[in-house]
Structure 1
Amino acid sequence: MKNYWYRFKHYPFYQHKWFRISLASLLLSVFFFLITISNVYTETYSIERFTEAKETIRSPLSIENEKETERERRAAIQSVEDRYEISTEITQERVGYVNELFEAIDKIDEEENDSGQSGDDGNTVSDKEKAQDLQQMISPEISDALQREDLIQLITASPNHRSLGKELLTTSLYDVMNDGVTTENMQTGIDNIKEKLQYSSLDASLKEVLYLISEFAVVENSFYDAEKTVEAQKHASSNVEPVMIRAGEIIVTEGQTITNEIYEELKLVGLLSDDRNVYPLVGLILLILLIGAMISYEMNNYAAKRELDAGKIASIILISVLMVAVMKVTSLFTGSVNQLFFIVPAATGAMLLKILLDERLALVLSMMYAILASLIFNSEIPGSLNMEAGIFILFSQLAGIAFLVNLKDRMAILKAGIGITLVHILTVLLFLFLSFEKYSMADVFTYMGFGAVAAFLSTVLTIGLLPFFETGLGILSDTKLLTLSNPNHPLLRKILIEAPGTYHHSVMVANLSESACEAIGANGLLARVAAYYHDLGKTEKAHYFIENQMGITNPHDMLQPEQSAGIIINHPYAGGKLLKKHKLPKEIIHITEQHHGTSLLKYFYFKAKEQNKYVKEADYRYPGPLPKTQEGAIVCICDSVEAAVRSLKEPTKEKIAEIVSSIINDKLMDGQLNDSPLTFKELEKIRQAVCEALNGIFHSRIQYPTNQEVKEAN
């Protein structure tokens, strides 16, 4: 916290981590907003009624035309006929009157036959008397409806004709009454019965009587049912499908007159200048804010573990801009027919981010790119997302991250390209099989070819763009480190030729440093390469360093302690200058300048103190700075450990463990690790890893006898 406030007070605001991260996130958010605004905020038109459309206009969204839906519902309700309740009691009553009439006539005939056969009375009953008797037998309703002459016609008709007439009349009456008789259709029902009677073989006089009976029998038996009518209207209304204006549907074609109906549709979908809908814009702003916040969080998370300099921030911005721009350009040529998002080299950004920065950061940004892809490829239909495009872009990037495993292998990117091709093909087949549409084999192979091309482009672009980011932005990647670790590098050859002892010492420190870094999850390759170059400054005066004094007198014996100290203290900074001159990465330069921190040259300090007890300790300390990173602190420890263990005559496991622990404790007590992010737990892992590596180097060997000992033994 103290260091943070010191930096806050003494450094310009633009050098603060929070400012850089906020600025980068803001720039990306603004770019994402400008790129995607056309996907949610469509063009509007200044159009008046009854003018001609200057261009064909399509609906940008799917929306219900509520007015048209309501109109169709009203029409459906109006088309519903009134519902009536048919009274079966009335039907049975009217048919009962007819049956009663004919049964009464049959009764009279039966009585007449019985009386004629018995001979009780020689007088015959007249037709009028029969009619009179009939009137008394039947109900007043039907008696009042028929004249006596009409009854006589029925009585005098032959039984067969009368039976046939009864059957025709009752059957027709049932048909009419069961269909329902209202005041409006009563006459129609009567006419239907008469029509059936008319074409029968009955006598004309009998037909006339039957006509009269039908006029009496047919009455209203169907009554309006309000409840059933309302229920039928509701059912009809609910069956009306909403009238939808579909996204992409043509509302008006070029040259067509803008009618009131078309004008209302344009207004409904928000295409008129005065009726623009701002809600999609608000939604887009919220989405971009969330994406920007996620990017800020991940950048801050990355900065907490490693240095997030301007070059790395610039790489995040450039990669993000490149990926989103490529998707936007591709979307301009993508439609429902040609799904060109399958050809987007999406894995490029993910692989570059993993190589240059961090796998976690690459994963999170890949998800953000996929979300943006689902919006960018929505055919500029507000409110819709192209999930196929989003899923394909996500799987493509995840494949790039997953298959790019061994960054120290120069063929790793090409191997990852093969894996990406396989994932692309499987994803394409996934969409084709899930689709309801039928695709021809030509379409299948075309889309699979798109996926293969996308994987190829991803591989080529990653290989091609990587040197630009490494050199142009000064980002140190594993491929760059592998190049710098080549023994034929001019500076390494310089150390080997001019200071061979220092070269051997650097190789040993590199081995120890890499083992220690891998134990705590730090960048072992960076520590190894930095260790190769950390003592480059010794080449200026190689013979002043003991590891290079092979068979010569130690020149320090002829110098004053302060002179010797000046030569020794200068070598980290002389090495830094040489590295800067040859434009090596700043990470290696920083480790070179920091690998001694502000430690004390104890030998020359105590030697000077023997001559002058008032000598200042500060004159015999390195000016720093202290190691700032895990890798720098580990190189600092391993440099001292290697030199100390090499000086042991008989390096046993116990002695090695003791001297390693001693050096780490001395570094801690002297404050040399104060600026590094190493924890006590990590220091313990470093101690164990260094001891294991040294035990492997200085393992016990068989002591072979000399020639003299062999002779004496014989």
Structure 2
Amino acid sequence: MNDLINKWYRNHALLYKVLLFFSTTFLIVYLFPKSGKFRYDFDKGKPWQSESLLAPFDFAIKKSSEEIEQEQIEVSESSAVYFDIDKSVQSNVIDLYSEKFKSSFADSIVANNINLFNAGESAINAIYEFGVLDEDYDYSASTTIILLDDQTQYGETQFSNLTKLDGFRIVIENELNINGLSKFEAAFVSVFFDIIKPNLKLNLSLTQNALDEKLESISSVRGSIEKGTLIISKGEIVEGNKYDVLKSLETEYESQVWNESNYNLIIFAYSLLVSLALLMLLLFLRKYRMEVFLDNTKVTFIFFNILLMILLTTLVINYNSIYVYVVPLCILPLVLKAFFDARLGLFTHVLTVLLLGFIVPNSYEYMFLQIIAGIVTILTVSELYKRANLFISVGQITLIYIIAYFAFFVIQEGDISNLDPSTFGLFVLCGLATLFVQPLIYIYEKVFGLVSDVSLLELSDTNTKLLKELSNKAPGTFHHSLNVANLAEASANEVGANAMLIRVGALYHDVGKMKNPTYFTENQATGINPHDELSPRESAKIIIDHVLDGIEIAKKNNLPDRVIDFIRTHHGTSLVYYFYRKEKDLIEDTNQDDFRYPGPQPYSKETAILMMCDSVEAASKSLKEPTSTKIDKFVETIIDKQMEDGQFLNANITFKEIQSIKKVLKTKLANIFHLRIEYPE
């Protein structure tokens, strides 16, 4: 049992990566659509590029959305409308008319005119022949109207035959004209205005139910294709019925739910493809970024960002795929470049885009645009801590999106008449969303404990609390650190290293000297050397301990690990030679290991550069009457000695780069000592 626990403990980092690998694969596959996917790409009006296509199974030819919409409009217009009729209203109106007629026509001759009375009664019968509406309705004249009396069909007519509430004037006018009684029109209008009441009311529920039944009866298909039928031959133009058939086949693929027999197989196939992509990323890290591969936090960070981009894209597609380009996918290479490097950022971005090709529409167009945008992101974004650079780069990325999309649209459509300018607005929104990378980087720094150039810029401020304390307690060391920072930054720029990182590392590399500042020569202002009171071994211990003290102080002040690495490695495993020689003069068989720094040796280009610059700057203070020749020999001697000791064996720095650094250091030291050309007298 103990052996198993020990074995697990020794391999826990690898086991964690395996668990992370499988869990990320599972989550990505889970986000993928649970439906089939049509394997062919085609565009209306363009030739069919693939081989001749036969129907793989029986399927129906689906109507287009425009066809179905047109049928729905026709059904809506032809559907019957139901009205409830109140037959008692007409008899009540006739009774009211008899009473009103006598009071309105007081003249005895007129009142006894039977023709006049009958004309009014005929008008009422004509008005109520089909019914009077209770309000204005917006139906066409030919709409079929079903009249209901107690839910029983009473009659059927057209909407044009129904009388509107204020439409009785025309009926009265016609009736009086027929009987030659037009002079009484005003009096009749006044009478009818008071007595005419509506007797038709819309039965909304029955009307809607009838409409729904007809709409539901609309078929979504028109004909079918049998298995094995030739759908389209290679080179044929995709148009007309062939386009409809292909769209029907595509819809059939994408809408069919996986059945139990092939579900597990397709999930397995998806898992293979996703795991291959993630495996390539891990292999890349192991071969080219071993320091990242060995750090589980950084690997988790990379996998988390891939999963986040896939999740965001999936959510947007599920909502509306037209907004797929609003997802700021270029944040991924931006973030990875800020924390790691451009090559890793681009590699991860390309793998993520390949995975998204499974779920996005027009996958080739999408992948082309996103990969091009990712390349532009890597090439244009530099010094992310400068806000202007980010805005300029986002503008360039947005422009590339627009240009590439425009080119694709012209290729697919053949003209620009149907180009929707609002699509370009989506790319602008994507650019604005990309600006969120700044607060996102800050969040990632706090959550994952990483450090970016933005944080390095803040740490390089000499007014920070720790550097202020260093300048007060050990002013000589602070001045030495500034000089080393300038030398290291110039050297880093010469060989393409991270200049900002190495500058910050140089500023903090000697903070451990604050604990015993007077034991270091640069801080001995009085000329008194406290080492005179100590044995060589004790003095060496104080000198060596400034590395351990520096690490302790840095951790208390929450300096990032990337900065602490400079404190840990800036002396490597070099020998405190002065005190070793003093001890050896006293004790012949002195062990060198007792006078060596604990290490480790520099294991990056930046930490190696700092070791060179630190040693050269510190030793340069001992030069007397410096000349160009002395400085050249001095720099060569110190760095060659470090190379002979094997201090740079673990650092990815070449001989050519070391020669370039030597050249920079010689030039800088010559400027520091203000050397002039010696003119003959």
The TM-score with structure 2 as length reference comes to 0.64
TM-score normalised by structure 1 residue count:
0.61
Change (3 A) 1:452 1:487: same
Give the AA of the match of 1:315. F
Secondary structure, counterpart of 2:558 in structure 1:
coil
Name the Cα RMSD after superposition.
3.6
Between the aligned partners of 1:569 and 1:628, the Cα distance in structure 2 is 20
Q: Do residues 31 (structure 1) and 27 (structure 2) align?
A: yes
Structure 1 residues 495 and 521: alpha-carbon distance in aligned structure 2, compared to 1, 3 A threshold: same
Match of 1:535 in 2: 510
Q: Does 1:398 align with 2:375?
A: yes
Aligned to 1:487: 462
Of 300, 306, 309, 1:323 maps to 309
User: What does 1:166-181 align with in structure 2 at a 5 Å threshold?
Assistant: none
CA distances 1:468-516 after superposition (whole Å, capped 9, x unpaired): 2222212221111111101111111111121111111111111222233
Q: Call closer, same or farther: CA 1:332–1:652 in 2, change over 3 Å.
A: same
Structure 2 partner of 1:12: 10
Decide whether aligned partners of structure 1 residues 672 and 20 sit closer, same or farther in structure 2, where only a CA change above 3 A counts: farther
Q: What's 2:609 paired with? A: 634
From 339, 349, 353, the equivalent of 2:336 is 353
Task: Supply the distance in 1 between the matched residues of 2:497 and 2:290 (Cα, whole angstroms).
Answer: 13
Residue 196 of structure 1 is matched in structure 2 by none
Residues 405-463 of structure 1, C-alpha deviations (whole Å, 9 max, x = no match)? 2335243222222222222332343344334398878x723211111011101112x11
CA gap of 1:35–1:433, structure 2 versus 1, over 3 A, is: same
Q: Which residue of the partner structure matches residue 232 of structure 1? A: none
Larger Rg: 1
Whether the 8 Å CA contact 1:312–1:357 is kept in 2: the answer is no
Q: Which residue of 1 aligns with 2:522?
A: 547
Give the match for residue 212 of structure 1.
Answer: none
Counterpart contact for 1:428–1:447, Cα < 8 Å: no
- What is the CA–CA distance in structure 2 between the aligned matches of 1:419 and 1:572, rounded to whole Å? 45
Deviation at 1:278, TM superposition (A): 7.1
CA offset at residue 310 of structure 1? 2.3
Aligned to 1:421: 398
Q: Which letter maps to 2:270?
A: L
Q: Which amino acid aligns with 2:433?
A: L
Whole-angstrom CA distance in 2 between matches of 1:289 and 1:10: 24
The 3 A distance-change label for structure 1 pair 274 and 284 is: closer
Query: Aligned partners of 2:231, 2:299: CA distance in 1, in Å?
Result: 58
Map 1:124-163 → 2, pairs under 5 A: none
SS in 1 for 2:34: helix
What pairs with 1:384-533 in structure 2 (closer than 5 Å)? 386-436=363-413, 444-460=420-436, 462-533=437-508
2:42 corresponds to: none
The 2-side partners of 1:277 and 1:560 are apart by 78
Equivalent residue of 1:627, what SS? Answer: coil
Distance 1:618 1:366, change over 3 A: closer
Aligned residue identity for 2:641: D
- Indicate the larger mover: 550-559 or 319-328: 550-559
Contact 2:485 2:504 in 1 (8 A): yes
SS at 1:38 equivalent: coil
Residue by residue over 1:29-60, the C-alpha shift from the partner in whole angstroms, topping out at 9 and shown as x without a partner, is 33332222525479xxxxxxxxxxxxxxxxxx
Contact 1:306/1:629 (CA < 8 Å) preserved in 2?
no
- Cα displacement (A) at 1:11: 8.0
Tell me the CA shift for residue 539 of structure 1.
1.0
Aligned CA distance change for structure 1 residues 699 and 311 (closer, same or farther; 3 Å): farther
Gaps of 5+ in 2: 1-5, 39-52, 61-227, 234-240
- SS of 1:655 mapped into structure 2: helix
Tell me the equivalent position of 1:198: none
Alignment pair present for 1:343 and 2:326? yes
Equivalent residue number for residue 4 of structure 1: none
2:515 counterpart SS class:
helix
Task: Report if the CA contact (8 A) 1:405-1:412 is conserved.
Answer: yes
- 1:64 counterpart (37, 44, 55): 55
Find the aligned partners of 2:271 and 2:529 in 1 and give their Cα distance. Answer: 72
Deviation at 1:327, TM superposition (A): 0.5
In 2, Cα distance between the equivalents of 1:473 and 1:311?
A: 7
Matched ranges for 1:53-452 at <5 A: 64=55, 249=248, 273=259, 276=262, 281=267, 283-304=269-290, 308-335=294-321, 339-378=322-361, 386-436=363-413, 444-452=420-428
CA distance in 2 between counterparts of 1:598 and 1:692 reads 28
In 1, Cα distance between equivalents of 2:432 and 2:356: 20
Q: Distance in 2 between matches of 1:340 and 1:68?
A: 31
**Is the partner of 1:584 in helix, strand or coil?**
coil
> Residues 476 and 68 (structure 1 numbering): CA distance in 2 closer, same or farther, change over 3 Å?
closer
Task: Tell me by how many angstroms 1:581 deviates.
Answer: 0.5
State the alpha-carbon separation in 1 of the partners of residues 501 and 28 from structure 2.
34
- Confirm or deny: 8 A CA contact 1:315 1:473 kept in the other structure: yes
- Residue 26 of structure 1 deviates from its aligned partner by 3.9
Structure 1 unaligned blocks of 5 or more: 1-7, 43-61, 70-236, 253-264, 379-384, 704-714
- Shift, 1:628, TM fit: 2.2
Taking the aligned partners of 1:10 and 1:657, their CA distance within structure 2 comes to: 53
